[in-house]
Structure 1
């Protein structure tokens, strides 16, 4: 039986090639994902370990989570603690670390690093005058205000060298500094494409609002002193809100964080690899079913000469194992290439990955081989079992047992129950809000399986609906329709492969389009300001109060309010207060009040959103106990309750009330209105007033919507790219089914040629059959995708009140056109092969 299986594999090379490709693509995706994520994770982990080589113990502020602690951040570390750490038993040296945001512009004025990780720090010379964290390759370390050193990658990208002037921004206003040195570093953020600018310690503390203070103190152990021993000594001198950690623990924690961060990407990519493999299952089942059907005489003869049912099944499974093993090995090799290519693509986008070898872990090899073999064998088990049940005499007489009526009734009943149950679960999940994700996901899986089971039943009426169009093509069109419904199970499996891909693509498109519409509406409804000013790389970055003061002096600015957030404890709960200008804010935001109005805002009177009011049972006149950022306690009075949204929510107070309690007075946004509205001329004026600052974003409502839309578009395009694998596999499935169908019907095609159907008619018949099957799968995919898009949107609507379903008719038409194109492309080779059949040989052939 083993020799027979091997001979069958070699005898059907062309037929099994498509199956190998289908499995290989899925395995390649799995292997490529594992190689890529393992390589990136390993490179970052080794880079982070290098960064901690000179750190034996690190001291950092430790925020205590109790009512006694101030709501603000833990106190930074003092110079006194630094001196004590350097003198601790077992300590060789200690240096203080100052960290903050520092954006660097290139010579054209554009931001280097794109806001990804623009960091600033301090150069802290040791007894030898050098900082062990950084190696100067050009010039010297900064020693005074107005001097800066850049990392070598940033200097290269900005074309800077020692002696040049560079424009930087720490909290808004532009500063012109002199580049006095260029250095190398093992900092992982720099390796990943970020920038690092170093100042002398005093300047860094002043720029980042930390005079005389440090964000971290790193201690180097003396020879013969272990990190654990040194930590024990350091613990004795620590203030209450500080903690010490060994360098090994820090490196381990960072490695785990990197691994955890990569695991989410790995999981997402593996999900799409799984989808591609799931689509491949339809092809494998179809292929082996058709191979078994074409070899009924051979299998019957084997049964007649003594082969048992188990041996026949085993023969088919051995073929599947060989095919799966070949596909797995080829897929693994292709996956290694994909992993290397993905790293190169990542580097080409500017997100430079630390150097390191390509990692092909033993688990990657094992998983790839297992996935390829197991998926193929499991998919071939049902056709193998069906082959073993063929009665020898019936098969020898070419009597192919059609599915019984009872079997069809059972199949359709099971399919209907699964589909109805899936619909019920999805609808129930849609009505459960945030708790409905689990039932909805399970219901979606059940519904897809139910539709797949019902697809043979659905194929006849849906394909029959295309009859009027097919009649236009005459006899080839009529024959194409009959061929498409001749074997409903085969048609169903072929169409289902395409259905899965289009279901996901359509569903994601519906959700993305609806969310974008909701964001546009939210920005339009929530904001009345013409412009919103914030720091690049995230709106939460501190913005100097000087920015709003500078803009307020412009005669074109008619109304302006800075927004500043301060951590606070409100009625015992950790929260924050948003400071605003009480006179200007009413002209800049658009909210509906359930009680009170903006006129009540000022002094100790606050405005709260309706959610906070409902949670605490507060209304106008209620007193709110508050603990400010600096630990002082006070009371606020509710002056109004408004309907919060994604743009405006929380507790609003007068900036004059909250600012005295802030450790560093800074804004996170500035809203303003200008004469003439949100025009390009006004935007250019604001940019020039702020010194053409590359680190500051000046956005209109449309800009805010477009920025969010760009993120959604990028994510959607990535998902389209990942799903393209499933679509490619589906195309292979259509090609495979048609090619084997042509072989199966070669005698029939020969007869059609003999009675007058020319080669062009044969080609048209095969192409139309492919087109009908593909469109059938496309229609099912669009229908399921719309349903899932609606259901998922109901969950989104609970968090996004402006959400409403938007049907992307244009894109849906494009997807249907894509399905048709898949059918046309997939039919090229089978149609050509069918038209070239020798009619006499085909009629004569068995």
Structure 2
């Protein structure tokens, strides 16, 4: 039986090649994902670990819990603590570290690197081995700076050049005195690093005389744990935390691994989709191969082979196919992993140098996935073949599925579909994240139900195309009859395309609807012409509001200043605004009371009001971070959104109690509205600062749209794998259909059907099957897009369903193109059949 199975594998090379290719693509995606994420994680971990080589113990301030209604500030790491750390027994040296956001502009004035990766700090001096100088010298004073070598190379800077820099405030133009190398993970990821001398860094970052961290180097013969114990005994208890360098490296590695896990899981989901689609092709292939060898298997049974041996022979074939697909998929996956790393570099995301990581887990996963998926898909056809009695198989009376099996299938499909729809609809009534899991479960049930029902659905849906097919005469009529001749095979082929288009359509509906809702939110909630903010999302200097007010044509401004406070024993973040101007800059719907902000009168969003049991006229006591308290009155309750929410209070009441005022953004209203000239004036007033974004409402929407478009295009690329596998499935099905109908095609040729008509028949059959899958996929995608939108609508009042008719027409055209493309080879093969040989075939 083993030799028979191997001979059967070699006897059907062309058909099995498509199965191998389908499995290989899925396996390649899985192994490529593992290679890419493992390589990236390993490179980042090694790069990060090098940064802790000179840190034996790090001392940081320990956050203090709030006491009652009093906000307790985190202790500061002073010069005294630095000196005490250096004098601790077992310590060789101690260095104070200062860091903060520092934006570096290129020679065209544009921000270098991602805003959140633009970092600054202090250069430790001539003994700074963490940032060894490549050229130049250490910086001295606020007019000198050192920059990392990768940033200098990207921007074309060298020692002696003047550079534009922003450190949470006005633009500085220091001279570059040194260029250093670093293994900093942010720089490796495409960011930038600027270093000042310690005193200048403390001044620029608003931390005079204090540090963010104290790094202590152990004396020779002193272990990290021993030094940690000595520092714990020498430094104030309850005010500082000590962590060994080894633990810091481990924590950083764990953080990197955790950040990679999200990317890995996302990519593996799409690999799973490709494999799931490939499963249909494998099952279809083995079903047809077994059907073509029915008499051969019956003869084996007649001469003594048992049912188990017949099933085992099919599974052996599947094992061979799966093993070949697993090995080739692993090799292709290594190439995909290397390609993804190169692609990141092309897109500007720098990846640390390092070898490709092909772990034993990746090799095992590729082989196991290839073999297990193939054998599972082949098990049912093998089991079905073994159950056929030899006499029935020889006379082919088994060919038609029993009415009982079809009734059972349709019943199960209807139950799954009904359960899926019910669960999805129930999930739409839930609140936010509570409905995500039920929605996912309902989606899976509905897709499985529709897949099981597809043979039943194929007849009426394909029959609807009959009027169009009549235009093509005999070829069209034959194509329609052929496409419904074997509903199960047609269903399996169409389902492969259906799944891919369901996901593509659902995500397109979601992206378009979200973009529309955000546009409506911005236009309905904000009357301001501009929103000014930091490129990295950090806080703006309070001076920005004053500078914007002085610009000609500006009629109103208001910063949005966040500050923690204690309310009813819980921490709430207050949003400070210019009360007299805020109403002119926003248009928030008020559900209760009036939108009045000034003095002790505040407004709160409906969620906050509900959580505290407030309504218009309610009074509450707020405890500020400086320990003082004030009695505030709720003037109104408004509908919050993703842009504006929380407790809004007048800055005149809030700012006196804030130690370091900082604004998250500033809203600006101008007399002439948003225009290119006004934008230039605002940017110039802020010193053409590379760290500050001046955005109109249109700019905000376009920025969000750009993010959606980027993510959507990435998902389209990933789902293209499933579509490619679906194309293979259509080719496979048509090739087998042509093989089975060789005698019939020969007869048609003999009675006058020419080669062109045969080709047209096969192409139309493929087109009908593909459009059938496309219609099902687009229909399901719209339903899932609507359902997910209903779930989002509970948190986003401006959400509105947008059906992308143009995109859906494009997807249907894509399905048609898949059908036409997949039919090229089978149609050509059918037209070239020798009619006499075909008529004599069995």
TM-score, with structure 2 as normaliser? 0.98
Match of 2:20 in 1: 20
* Deviation of the 1:645 alpha carbon: 2.0
Give SS of 1:113's match: coil
The farther-off stretch of 425-434 and 31-40 is 425-434
Once residues 372 and 116 of structure 2 are traced to their aligned partners in structure 1, the CA distance between those partners, rounded to angstroms, is 42
Match of 1:416 among 407, 414, 426: 414
| Residues 473-498 of structure 1, C-alpha deviations (whole Å, 9 max, x = no match) | 01110000000000000000000001
Match of 2:754 among 747, 755, 758: 758
Once residues 554 and 596 of structure 1 are traced to their aligned partners in structure 2, the CA distance between those partners, rounded to angstroms, is 35
Once residues 241 and 469 of structure 1 are traced to their aligned partners in structure 2, the CA distance between those partners, rounded to angstroms, is 80
Task: Kindly report which structure 2 residues correspond to 1:188-587, keeping only aligned pairs within 5 A, or say none.
Answer: 188-236=185-233, 237-238=235-236, 240-434=238-432, 435-538=434-537, 541-587=538-584
Give SS of 1:584's match: helix
Once residues 487 and 589 of structure 2 are traced to their aligned partners in structure 1, the CA distance between those partners, rounded to angstroms, is 58
**Does the Cα contact within 8 Å between 1:433 and 1:794 map onto a contact in 2?**
no
**Does the Cα contact within 8 Å between 2:64 and 2:73 map onto a contact in 1?**
no
Match of 1:680 in 2: 676
Match of 2:795 in 1: 799
Once residues 707 and 248 of structure 2 are traced to their aligned partners in structure 1, the CA distance between those partners, rounded to angstroms, is 32
| Residues 699-756 of structure 1, C-alpha deviations (whole Å, 9 max, x = no match) | 1111111111111111111111111111110110001111111111111111111111
Once residues 315 and 643 of structure 1 are traced to their aligned partners in structure 2, the CA distance between those partners, rounded to angstroms, is 67
2:171 corresponds to 1:182: no
Match of 2:146 in 1: 149
The farther-off stretch of 491-500 and 413-422 is 413-422
Once residues 29 and 518 of structure 1 are traced to their aligned partners in structure 2, the CA distance between those partners, rounded to angstroms, is 34
Give SS of 1:142's match: coil
| Residues 599-622 of structure 1, C-alpha deviations (whole Å, 9 max, x = no match) | 4x2233322222222221223443
**Does the Cα contact within 8 Å between 1:340 and 1:358 map onto a contact in 2?**
yes
* Deviation of the 1:239 alpha carbon: 5.3
The farther-off stretch of 681-690 and 160-169 is 681-690
Once residues 656 and 11 of structure 2 are traced to their aligned partners in structure 1, the CA distance between those partners, rounded to angstroms, is 85
Residue segments in structure 1 that go unaligned for 5+ positions in a row: none
Give SS of 1:185's match: coil
**Does the Cα contact within 8 Å between 2:66 and 2:72 map onto a contact in 1?**
no
Match of 1:654 among 635, 646, 650: 650
Match of 2:775 in 1: 779
| Residues 795-844 of structure 1, C-alpha deviations (whole Å, 9 max, x = no match) | 11111111121111111111111110100000011111111111111112
* Deviation of the 1:635 alpha carbon: 3.0
Match of 1:159 among 153, 156, 161: 156
**Does the Cα contact within 8 Å between 1:72 and 1:567 map onto a contact in 2?**
no
The farther-off stretch of 13-22 and 341-350 is 341-350
Once residues 783 and 97 of structure 2 are traced to their aligned partners in structure 1, the CA distance between those partners, rounded to angstroms, is 54
Once residues 333 and 101 of structure 2 are traced to their aligned partners in structure 1, the CA distance between those partners, rounded to angstroms, is 39
* Deviation of the 1:327 alpha carbon: 0.2
Give SS of 1:818's match: helix
* Deviation of the 1:68 alpha carbon: 5.7
Give SS of 1:165's match: coil
Once residues 627 and 60 of structure 1 are traced to their aligned partners in structure 2, the CA distance between those partners, rounded to angstroms, is 27
**Does the Cα contact within 8 Å between 1:172 and 1:696 map onto a contact in 2?**
no
Give SS of 2:95's match: strand
Once residues 579 and 99 of structure 2 are traced to their aligned partners in structure 1, the CA distance between those partners, rounded to angstroms, is 34
* Deviation of the 1:19 alpha carbon: 0.2
* Deviation of the 1:116 alpha carbon: 4.1
Give SS of 2:580's match: coil
**Does the Cα contact within 8 Å between 1:116 and 1:193 map onto a contact in 2?**
no
Task: Kindly report which structure 2 residues correspond to 1:627-646, keeping only aligned pairs within 5 A, or say none.
Answer: 627-646=623-642
Once residues 70 and 330 of structure 2 are traced to their aligned partners in structure 1, the CA distance between those partners, rounded to angstroms, is 55
**Does the Cα contact within 8 Å between 1:557 and 1:675 map onto a contact in 2?**
yes
* Deviation of the 1:34 alpha carbon: 0.5
Give SS of 2:164's match: strand
* Deviation of the 1:632 alpha carbon: 3.3
Match of 1:701 in 2: 697
**Does the Cα contact within 8 Å between 2:69 and 2:567 map onto a contact in 1?**
no
Once residues 592 and 410 of structure 2 are traced to their aligned partners in structure 1, the CA distance between those partners, rounded to angstroms, is 58
The farther-off stretch of 610-619 and 362-371 is 610-619
| Residues 57-108 of structure 1, C-alpha deviations (whole Å, 9 max, x = no match) | 1011221233269647523311110111011111000001111010000111
* Deviation of the 1:243 alpha carbon: 0.9
Once residues 256 and 105 of structure 2 are traced to their aligned partners in structure 1, the CA distance between those partners, rounded to angstroms, is 29
* Deviation of the 1:350 alpha carbon: 1.4
2:639 corresponds to 1:622: no
Once residues 262 and 19 of structure 1 are traced to their aligned partners in structure 2, the CA distance between those partners, rounded to angstroms, is 32
**Does the Cα contact within 8 Å between 1:172 and 1:535 map onto a contact in 2?**
no
Once residues 604 and 77 of structure 1 are traced to their aligned partners in structure 2, the CA distance between those partners, rounded to angstroms, is 36
**Does the Cα contact within 8 Å between 2:298 and 2:389 map onto a contact in 1?**
yes
* Deviation of the 1:382 alpha carbon: 0.6
* Deviation of the 1:545 alpha carbon: 2.0
* Deviation of the 1:160 alpha carbon: 0.5
Give SS of 1:777's match: helix
**Does the Cα contact within 8 Å between 1:26 and 1:276 map onto a contact in 2?**
yes
Give SS of 2:115's match: coil
Match of 2:2 in 1: 2
Match of 2:118 in 1: 118
Once residues 479 and 379 of structure 1 are traced to their aligned partners in structure 2, the CA distance between those partners, rounded to angstroms, is 31
**Pairwise CA RMSD:** 1.4
Task: Kindly report which structure 2 residues correspond to 1:802-813, keeping only aligned pairs within 5 A, or say none.
Answer: 802-813=798-809
**Does the Cα contact within 8 Å between 1:101 and 1:118 map onto a contact in 2?**
yes
Match of 2:65 in 1: 65
TM-score, with structure 1 as normaliser? 0.98
| Residues 490-533 of structure 1, C-alpha deviations (whole Å, 9 max, x = no match) | 00000000111111111111111111111011101110000011
Once residues 502 and 636 of structure 2 are traced to their aligned partners in structure 1, the CA distance between those partners, rounded to angstroms, is 47
Residue segments in structure 2 that go unaligned for 5+ positions in a row: none
The farther-off stretch of 234-243 and 704-713 is 234-243
**Does the Cα contact within 8 Å between 1:152 and 1:183 map onto a contact in 2?**
yes
Match of 2:660 among 656, 659, 664: 664
Give SS of 1:564's match: strand
